[in-house]
Amino acid sequence: METVFILINIIIMLALIGLLFYMQKKHVSFSKRVLTGLGLGIVLGAFLQLAYSSDSVIVSTSTDWFNIVGRGYVSLLMMIVIPLVMVSIIQSIINLEKSSELGKMSAWIIGILVATAMVAAVVGVGAASVFNLDASQIEAGQAENDRGLALEERLGTVQDLTIPQQIVSFIPSNPFLDMTGARATSTIAVVIFSIFIGVAVLGVRKKQPEQAKIFVDWVNAVYAVVMRIVTLILRLTPYGILGLMANTVANTDVAGILELGKFVGASYVALLVMFIIHLIVVGLFGLNPFTFLRKVLPVLGFAFTSRSSAGTIPLNIQAQKNSLGVHQGIANMSASFGATIGQNGCAGIYPAMLAVMIAPSQGIDPLSPGFLVQLVLIVGIASFGIAGVGGGATFAALIVLSSMNLPVALAGLLISVEPLIDMGRTALNVNGAMVSGTLTSRIMNKLNLKTFNDPNAIEKETGL
């Protein structure tokens, strides 16, 4: 009988995929198809949750099949991330009018990312205080205790690294290894390697213009092919979001969420406040925040369901360049840096909330000026090098809590609601990267306002 129910669930999924394909054939806009996929995924996941319960064999088997659509799509995006980052950065640099623009571009992008991460830490402190969160109020079961022990073990891998050593870890000693994504800082290492190639080409152009021209033509050809691959993959976004969202909702631990509802609520209030701050900042730079929000929603929808900042890089670059009118080089760099540096959700809000929750258990007043200043500064420094995949927030929490001399094991108390909160955190991370790209482009007078204000820009440019 279980096989019959599983088959029915798969048929339902195929029917929903067919509906999205029909919408594509009818030329329904990309944004509407993405949001429809998100909504259908929630409905399907809720149906599985209510009909069978999240821990049933039927749900686990059905979602395993759904993963072909959901996680398969994420794998395709991850496949193109490193080639896209590498060729985009090189191509952007060799097409710069002035090489001095590279330094300004990088400084503004990184500065905005780190500054907003520090603001996010303050928001996290405020949310934890308003909701009166205290780690001692949460009961620990076997899973929570096991998680706490695992965090303490993992701490050993990062605790001995000083800030200078963390910065050194960004530098690629073996760029080909980093192209496999072997390290948490692989993306930024590839960016650095690509910058060196681009700058080298600028030098060769002055002394050996013919050789430089051959290389530039080759890079431009590879870039055109890579971007075509990106477009082909991005057309699958509505289907990927459908599969990812259905799986997430179907496997959600409702009991755990109810038990830790206060923390979940506080987290999403903090995330919402930070989103609003992003929009206010966009408005302060003379841009319509509602136009910005409407254009980034499809990207945020994927970030929310996939929980992968790195996996969202292709969508991020496309949306910034084709929909927001951000300069190509700035879009490439902000999306790449934003997957590793200054993540507002994972490296800003989350560690700050944990620190405020845990401090009272150690006899520390979390609202004392000394504690708060130290926390915000450590969050800013630690926001470098957070892995752009699920679990990056844990890495950030380990660094911040250990630097504040707070026990990291208590962070294991939140294991049951981690996936749910991580969805919102990832969306905020990606939004922060897009804000940094948009503002940097605006500051450097490279923002195409006509594209930014065009409601149909992304469909016109990409045919999505």
**Can you tell me the distance from the alpha carbon of 386 to that of 348, in angstroms, rounded to the nearest whole number?**
11
SS (H, E, C) 90-108: HHHHHCCCCCHHHHHHHHH
Q: Position 220: which residue type?
A: N
Greatest pairwise CA separation for the chain in angstroms: 74
- Per residue of the chain (464 residues), give pLDDT as tens: 788 888 999 999 999 999 999 998 988 888 788 889 989 998 998 898 888 877 788 888 998 999 999 889 888 888 888 888 888 888 888 877 666 778 888 899 999 999 999 999 999 999 989 988 877 655 544 444 444 445 545 445 445 555 576 667 778 888 888 888 777 667 778 888 988 998 898 888 888 989 988 998 998 899 889 888 988 888 898 999 899 889 888 887 676 666 667 888 899 999 999 999 999 999 999 999 999 999 998 899 888 888 888 888 888 998 999 899 998 889 988 988 888 788 898 889 988 988 888 888 788 888 888 889 988 988 888 777 554 444 566 777 777 877 777 776 666 556 556 778 888 999 999 999 999 999 999 999 999 999 999 887 765 545 56
**Can you tell me the distance from the alpha carbon of 34 to that of 396, in angstroms, rounded to the nearest whole number?**
30
Which residues make Cβ contacts (< 8 Å) with residue 23, sequence separation at least 6? 32, 33, 36, 238
Q: At what angle do helices 30-52 and 2-25 cross, to 10 degrees?
A: 170
User: Using an 8 Å Cβ cutoff, are 430 and 305 in contact?
Assistant: no
Among 190, 122, 164, smallest CA distance to 380 is for 122
Among 120, 136, 108, 186, smallest CA distance to 400 is for 120
User: Using an 8 Å Cβ cutoff, are 343 and 432 in contact?
Assistant: yes
Q: Kindly calculate the radius of gyration of the chain based on its CA atoms and give it in whole angstroms.
A: 22
CATH code for residues 2-462: 1.10.3860.10
Q: Position 275: which residue type?
A: F
**Can you tell me the distance from the alpha carbon of 33 to that of 25, in angstroms, rounded to the nearest whole number?**
11
